[in-house]
Amino acid sequence: MCNLQSQFTMSFVWVFFTVCNFFPLSMSVSFRKKMKIFSESHKTVFVVDHCPYMAESCRQHVEFDMLVKNRTQGIIPLAPISKSLWTCSVESSMEYCRIMYDIFPFKKLVNFIVSDSGAHVLNSWTQEDQNLQELMAALAAVGPPNPRADPECCSILHGLVAAVEALCKITEYQHEARTMLMENAERVGNRGRIICITNAKSDSHVRMLEDCVQETIHEHNKLAANSDHLMQIQKCELVLIHTYPVGEDSLVSDRPKKELSPVLTSEVHSVRAGRHLATKLNLLVQQHFDLASTTITNIPMKEEQHANTSANYDVELLHHKEAHVDFLKSGDNHVGGNSREGTFKETVTLKWCTPRTNSVELHYCTGAYRISPVDVNSRPSSCLTNFLLNGRSVLLEQPRKSGSKVISHMLSSHGGEIFLHVLSSSRSILEDPPSISEGCGGRVTDYRITDFGEFMRENRLTPFLEPRYKMDGSLEIPLERAKDQLEKHTRYWPMIISQTTIFNMQAVVPLASVIVKETMTDEDVLNCQKTIYNLVDMERKNDPLPISTVGTRGKGPKRDEQYRIMWNELETLVRAHINNSDKHQRVLECLMACRSKPPEEEERKKRGRKREDKEDKSEKLGKDYESDKPWQDSERLKGLLDREKEELAEAEVIKDSPDSPEPPNKKPLITMDEMPTVEKAKGPMSLLSIWSNRINTANSRKHQEFIGRLNSVNNKAELYQHLKEENGMETTENGKAGRQ
Amino acid sequence: MPTVVVVDVSLSMTRPVSVEGSEEYQRKHLAAHGLTMLFEHMATNYKLEFTALVVFSSLWELMVPFTRDYNTLQEALSNMDDYDKTCLESALLGVCNIVQQEWGAAIPCQVVLVTDGCLGIGRGSLRHSLATHSQRSDSNRFPLPFPFPSKLYVMCMANLEELQSTDSLDCLERLIDLNNGEGQIFTIDGPLCLKNVQSMFGKLIDLAYTPFHAVLKCGHLTSDVQVFPRPEPFIIDEEIDPIPKAINTDLEIVGFVDIADISSPPVLSRHLVLPIALNREGDEVGPGITDDTEDENSANQIAGKIPNFCVLLHGSLKVEGMVALVQLGPEWYGMLYSQADSKKKSNLMMSLFEPGPEPLPWLGKMAQLGPISDAKENPYGEDDNKSPFPLQPKNKRSYAQNVTVWIKPSGLQTDVQKILRNARKLPEKTQTFYKELNRLRKAALAFGFLELLKGVADMLERECTLLPDTAHPDAAFQLTHAAQQLKVASTGASEYAAYDHNIAPLQTDFSSSSTERM
């Protein structure tokens, strides 16, 4: 079924023209290729002759009744049939469109017109009309030309006039660009191409057609000048294709592109119908859209008949020629001549590499271009495309004479579209860079890598195709929401393990995961409160905390000091979010009510200024999270350099203070690493106390603990505490106001 | 972006320069002085740049191949001998070869040409090259424009007046024009002296070799970074949008995507993102110009011990196999990811996508990407086993939708044979038979190929007569029905030849038991 054509590689001198659409703009412009959206290929008008003579046979026979194996003997196959000139023209132009739509599904538009006694415009420039199904349905409605119609009434001219009209019509892309550019709207170009397939009578007939187009453009440009909805044609490329039955002599001669006026260029192709016409249009689509051909060789495919063997096949693909940019420029090419079907065409041969790449590998890819198989329905083509559409990728290698293996391309599908990726195969200018561990922050070893991984997964993106609206009715931009979420999630986010206590505690997770949300449900609030009570409970039971002891000599801070650090940190976290909603505020209220505070106000003063400063700072930072310098910057310095020392010192202060609460027990402090079970840490306990502890814990889960009891010291709760607290709050608030 | 320094060592470079008082200088000394300054700057502020040194007169020589070792380059400057006349074209050809051999044709390079503005005489002189430029064939093409993206900086060891007195300046300007305008000419302001040479090279450094500093942000987590090589401004469309766009100095992370979802996207360029520590004056700690290396080391050590967001981000991206999408400007995005150079060394890397609202079709419009928490249910699935990517295009491509192409006879024959094969397996294959039949009918109607419909009808009728005695009676009914339907369609009469009409299986007494058994 698939004949392997012999490949021969030729030394091929690339005719290297640099298309000079570069202008010396300013000195600092980029190195990149520049492009124009609205070039001639933005708008293509097909004008296909539908006059009676197009119903004539192309005189190229197709055997459609092929003898299949195991057939009853002695049957004479049905006579071959042949296509009409019309059928040849239509299927060739459909093939042109197929390739174009495959490779440029957007911004390259086709308007299809058939011409007989009038012009029939089959579709519009709108993007919805731009697909093969629409065109096929419209063509079916037109049907083949009627050979018995009066030839005198029919003319291709109707179609050509309609084509010029169509070119003056603005496309949605042109409209969008004009609206966007406002006063610079004149920068939006209006160029186009008319491909006219007809059967002309003579060279002078062709000239008449050209004159007609020229004239019509002139007239319509005048009209367009006075219209908001039409655009003047700046440049029009007329491609006249004269087609005639095989075996007849052409009455029209070929003529290369010629400028008829500053606006109009014209070229004439005289082509036999049948596959010759198809080949011509295939070449034209490549020229018009800067396409190039790549042949994938050595594709191993299972034979249907012999399931265990596999043969190698070739598949030819078309794509934008930019995918060959490396070959074009370096002259180091593998362009093989391919004399299949008598047409000499250039194709770059790339060899199939047995799939080795996986989806989690990030290749350095300098371009990705949509492809279209030349022979879309052939078995090797559909084998290859189905393989790719199933989500597999294939690396392609350049066959080099030296035998070295250079992987230069990759075929891969993304959502039902196949792309040819260009992989960089030259030396990297970034080779041997300094490792990240040698630079800033490279010596720190306790980054919260796993936590940040979790953070990243929570902040993954997903497309929102339906427009959403904000409360005020304005359009909501999903990406702005994403940034917003990142802002919220990072208001308090210590980067290293030794900088945080709360994020090392499983018990805090329920609160930490919901407090960052924009809005909380009542259930969320309840969970936060539960978390806080749970922490209170832990404190009462004197559970050890995962306070970092890195760099500390001795045992680290005392247990109550640890809790103080923990509560402070939790408060910083919650405070960072109190402005999100009232519910967030409620969590803070709960936290403030529950967190253990020294019972006596005076004690606070006795702790010395240092401590207060620090607390103030953390509060301030919590509140002013929107300040330019996030807290981390100052905190990380402070945290690392001063913290341990300072806290040790503070611990000393507390211990020495006569007013400090009695340490609950005198057992030596234990670091996290060797944390034994809670019971052990508590020392000998009676069965009763164990039992009542259990009951209490169980009960405390069922109801909200009295605030008084929670804050009690040695089971003595101070009354009217809130008065004091309010006073305290006021001072803080005053303090805050003063700072602002 | 590698640099090639091309130094003129023709005799004219030995012309003395009158500097009052001190010892006598030649132009080549001025050149060496300027280049020393450039190399020193690169060694401290731009040390990842690869630089090669080429000297030329009537011949050219690669003195130092591409290296980051600026001492070697420095030494080579003092080992330059004096040769004969200036022959620029061959030197530029040499540059072409050197660059392409090392980097291929895709990597942008900067070419720093140091000359005195005497452009040679006779054959091989720039004047001669330019005069014959229009008569070139492809085999002796003028080396400009360079076949790789490039900037050509011409450093003239002469002042403007001197160059304007001859046509040197015009020739050099044409040279830049030939390089598609990519480049610039620098001349010495005022008298030729060390100071003025310094200021000329200072301008080059400002233009082409200032490190790009930015702030990488992810909400409140930030890090000062250097982006190397410098991201270059980009022109989106020379007609609609001719102004080059530069990237922001705030690189704002907008969210994260799995590597499998971003799936090797095409990028304009790749850059290292190196965290830097800025001290109060805004200079870099470490690589700054400090004579005291001990100070530098200790400063480096301190910087190494301060937690940095880049390192955290890099670590997590690597572990999770994800990339961070980063906004570079209005409608311009890129991605950050961990790139491993070897097993031990890996780095935070940034790739720039082509500017525009939708750089990657499989992600859709970037502005339409939002946080998963806004979705009704997690699009990644509760077990992380799904993904919202890639987006499916509205219209399928031809290779994914079973289009009909009959340009080659084999295409037509395959389609006819499919019908025939199924016809022989009626009534089991009734559904497929009609599916293929309708596909053929549609295409034939669209192409106006009514003769084919007639032909296939004839063929089905013949098949009917060839049915073996053992055949199911329904087969004959279906074949006759199908043939008849094709026949009426082939008349082209609108009531039978409607494109959207499908030939339905004939409802027979047998069909209830026989169909739907595909």
- Cis peptide bond prior to B390, omega within 30° of 0: yes
- Could you tell me if residue B223 is inside a domain? yes
Q: Which residues of B touch A325 (CB under 8 A)?
A: 105-106
Percentages helix, strand, coil for chain A, rounded to the nearest 5? 40, 20, 40
Q: What is the pLDDT of residue A650?
A: 42
- Provide the percentage of residues in chain B whose pLDDT is more than 90: 39
Task: Please tell me whether residues B308 and B359 are part of one structural domain.
Answer: yes
Look up tokens 């529950």; give the residue: A594
Q: What is the CATH number of the domain that holds B312?
A: 2.40.290.10
Q: How confident is the model at residue A724 (pLDDT cuts 50, 70, 90)?
A: low
Q: Is B350 left (phi over 0), alpha (psi -120 to 50) or beta?
A: beta
pLDDT above 90 (res A192): yes
pLDDT above 50 (res B71): yes
Tell me whether residues B455 and A141 touch, CB distance under 8 A.
no
- Could you tell me if residue B397 is inside a domain? no
Q: What is the pLDDT of residue A597?
A: 60
Q: Which residues of B touch A177 (CB under 8 A)?
A: 240
CA separation for the pair B371, A461 (Å, rounded): 5
Q: Are B93 and B136 in contact (CB under 8 A)?
A: no
Q: Are B158 and B31 in contact (CB under 8 A)?
A: no
Tell me whether residues A31 and B232 touch, CB distance under 8 A.
yes
Distance of CA A10 to the CA centre of its chain: 40
CA separation for the pair A267, A7 (Å, rounded): 33
A360 touches chain B (CB under 8 A): yes
Residues 313-352 of B with CB under 8 A from A: 313-317, 319-325, 327, 337, 339, 341, 344-349, 351
Amino acid, res. A681: A
For A438, name the nearest residue in chain B, comparing CA atoms only: B304
Tell me whether residues A443 and B314 touch, CB distance under 8 A.
no
Residue in A23, A430, A443 closest to B304 by CB: A443
- Could you tell me if residue B288 is inside a domain? no
**A365-373/A310-320 β-pairing:** antiparallel
Q: What is the pLDDT of residue A549?
A: 59
Look up tokens 């593998």; give the residue: A334
A232 touches chain B (CB under 8 A): no
A723 touches chain B (CB under 8 A): no
Q: Give the mean pLDDT of A48-60.
A: 93
Task: Please tell me whether residues B191 and B313 are part of one structural domain.
Answer: no
- Could you tell me if residue B167 is inside a domain? yes
Task: Please tell me whether residues B203 and B120 are part of one structural domain.
Answer: yes
Which tokens belong to A86?
Answer: 């019309």
Point out the least confidently predicted range of A458-467, A471-480, B296-305, B494-503.
Answer: B296-305
Which tokens belong to A653?
Answer: 């202060």
Provide ipTM, 2 decimals. 0.89
CA separation for the pair B223, A447 (Å, rounded): 15
- Cis peptide bond prior to B229, omega within 30° of 0: yes
pLDDT above 70 (res A390): yes
Task: Please tell me whether residues B429 and B480 are part of one structural domain.
Answer: yes
Query: For A109-147, how does the pLDDT look when each residue is reduced to its tens digit (9 = 90+)?
Result: 999 999 999 999 999 999 999 999 999 999 999 999 998
The partner residues of B228 in beta bridges, in order of sequence, read B272
Q: What is the pLDDT of residue A556?
A: 63
Q: Are B263 and A414 in contact (CB under 8 A)?
A: yes
Task: Please tell me whether residues B253 and B165 are part of one structural domain.
Answer: no
CA separation for the pair A304, A207 (Å, rounded): 54
- Could you tell me if residue B201 is inside a domain? yes
Q: What is the pLDDT of residue A707?
A: 67
A521, A1, A49: which is closest to A243 by C-alpha?
A: A49
A194, A214, A196, A187: which is closest to A38 by C-alpha?
A: A187
Higher pLDDT, B25 or B306: B306
Q: What is the pLDDT of residue B44?
A: 87
Point out the least confidently predicted range of A19-23, A307-311, B8-12, B236-240.
Answer: A19-23
A522, A538, A506: which is closest to A586 by C-alpha?
A: A522
Q: What is the pLDDT of residue A335?
A: 43
CA separation for the pair B274, B254 (Å, rounded): 20
Task: Please tell me whether residues B178 and B217 are part of one structural domain.
Answer: no
Which of these three, B372, B394, B417, is where a domain ends? B372
Q: What is the pLDDT of residue A481?
A: 92
- Cis peptide bond prior to B427, omega within 30° of 0: yes
Point out the least confidently predicted range of A34-43, A336-345, B430-439.
Answer: A336-345
Which of these three, B349, B372, B395, is where a domain ends? B372
Query: For A171-185, how does the pLDDT look when each residue is reduced to its tens digit (9 = 90+)?
Result: 999 999 888 888 888
pLDDT above 90 (res A108): yes
Q: What is the pLDDT of residue B486?
A: 93
Task: Please tell me whether residues B351 and B479 are part of one structural domain.
Answer: no
Query: For B197-225, how does the pLDDT look when each residue is reduced to its tens digit (9 = 90+)?
Result: 889 999 999 998 989 999 999 999 999 99
Residues 431-450 of A with CB under 8 A from B: 431-444, 447-450
DSSP one-letter string for A118-167: SEEE---SSGGG-SHHHHHHHHHHH-S--TTS-TTT--SHHHHHHHHHHH
Q: Are A197 and A241 in contact (CB under 8 A)?
A: yes
CA separation for the pair A575, A623 (Å, rounded): 6
Give φ, ψ of B340 to 5 degrees.
Answer: -95, 125
- Could you tell me if residue B239 is inside a domain? no
CA distance A385 to chain B (A): 7
Look up tokens 């339409």; give the residue: B368
Give me the total of CB pairs closer than 8 Å, taking one residue from chain A and one from chain B. 501
The partner residues of A293 in beta bridges, in order of sequence, read A318
Task: Please tell me whether residues B145 and B45 are part of one structural domain.
Answer: yes
The partner residues of B212 in beta bridges, in order of sequence, read B227
DSSP one-letter string for B110-152: EEEEEE-S---SSTTSHHHHHHTGGG--STT--SPSPSS-EEE
Q: Are A147 and A188 in contact (CB under 8 A)?
A: no
CA separation for the pair B276, B224 (Å, rounded): 6
Collapse the DSSP code of B204 into the 3-class scheme (helix H, G, I; strand E, B; otherwise coil) and give the result. helix
- Could you tell me if residue B287 is inside a domain? no
Residues 6+ apart with CB under 8 A from A71: none
Q: Give the mean pLDDT of A641-652.
A: 43
CA separation for the pair B401, B419 (Å, rounded): 19
Q: What is the CATH number of the domain that holds B151?
A: 3.40.50.410
Q: Are A599 and A575 in contact (CB under 8 A)?
A: no
Amino acid, res. B474: D
Which tokens belong to A434?
Answer: 């300094």
| Tally of domains in chain B | 3
For B150, name the nearest residue in chain A, comparing CA atoms only: A31
CA separation for the pair B286, B296 (Å, rounded): 5
Range of the domain at B481: 407-495
Query: For A328-361, how does the pLDDT look when each residue is reduced to its tens digit (9 = 90+)?
Result: 655 544 444 443 433 445 889 999 987 666 767 8
A460 touches chain B (CB under 8 A): yes
Task: Please tell me whether residues B304 and B450 are part of one structural domain.
Answer: no
pLDDT above 60 (res B513): no
Which alpha helices (H) appear in A310-395, and where do they start and end? Answer: 325-330, 379-389
For A411, name the nearest residue in chain B, comparing CA atoms only: B264
Residue in B141, B349, B399 closest to A418 by CB: B399
Higher pLDDT, A525 or A723: A525
Residue in B220, B319, B339 closest to A487 by CB: B220
C-alpha distances (whole Å) from A240 to each of A135, A144, A262, A291 are 21, 21, 18, 21
Amino acid, res. B15: R
Task: Please tell me whether residues B26 and B160 are part of one structural domain.
Answer: yes
Instruction: Give kind and range of the element (H or E) at residue A304.
Output: none
Task: Please tell me whether residues B341 and B217 are part of one structural domain.
Answer: yes
Task: Please tell me whether residues B127 and B14 are part of one structural domain.
Answer: yes
Average pLDDT of the residues of chain A = 78
Q: What is the pLDDT of residue B158?
A: 85
CA separation for the pair B222, B237 (Å, rounded): 33
Tell me whether residues A456 and B232 touch, CB distance under 8 A.
no
Which tokens belong to A682?
Answer: 């508590």
**B221-228/B269-275 β-pairing:** antiparallel
Residue in A38, A81, A486 closest to B452 by CB: A81
Tell me whether residues A432 and B341 touch, CB distance under 8 A.
yes
- Could you tell me if residue B336 is inside a domain? yes
CA separation for the pair B405, A375 (Å, rounded): 9
